[in-house]
Amino acid sequence: MTPSQPHDREFELDPDAAVDAAVDTALRALADRNRRAILHVVREHPRAVGEIAARVTLSQQTVSHHLRILRSAGLVSEERAGTRHLFIVRSDGLAAVRHYLDDFWPTQLAALKSAVEARALESGRNQPRESPQEKHRA
């Protein structure tokens, strides 16, 4: 790295930079409550801007703004039906975010397993052990 390059730019050398950028863009889009509400409305059926606006109680202009951001993030797709523009969730657009979030689970589950096993081992040390005869009598 040259002195003119800032340290926080190291990730750009990563071959997965395009995936990282897609995740960043999608997470920024999902950070807005109104956009999440719009995604909820269009998750199963294509809907027109006016219908979306009525369901989320926003103006059509505001919904159009949010849909542009969601579309540029790859989270919704647009199709035309005559003069209407219909929007629906792109499940593949959410795949990068899901993959990113799924990467946290193995580490967290391993940590949880270790903590449970350590607690079980510790509690086993603090309790007197029963002899096989005592177990049989009970």
pLDDT tens digits along 81-99: 999 999 999 988 888 888 8
Class of 9-126 in CATH? mainly alpha
Portion of the chain with pLDDT greater than 90, in percent: 47
User: H-helix or E-strand containing 16?
Assistant: none
Distances in Å between the alpha carbon of 46 and those of 49, 80, 94? 10, 10, 17
Nearest CA to 43 among 80, 92, 90?
90
Q: How confident is the model at residue 102 (pLDDT cuts 50, 70, 90)?
A: confident
Residue 127 has pLDDT above 80, yes or no: no
Cα angle 102, 74, 47; round to 5: 110
Q: Cβ distance 55 to 41 under 8 Å? A: yes
Residue 5 has pLDDT above 70, yes or no: no
* pTM for the structure as a whole: 0.66
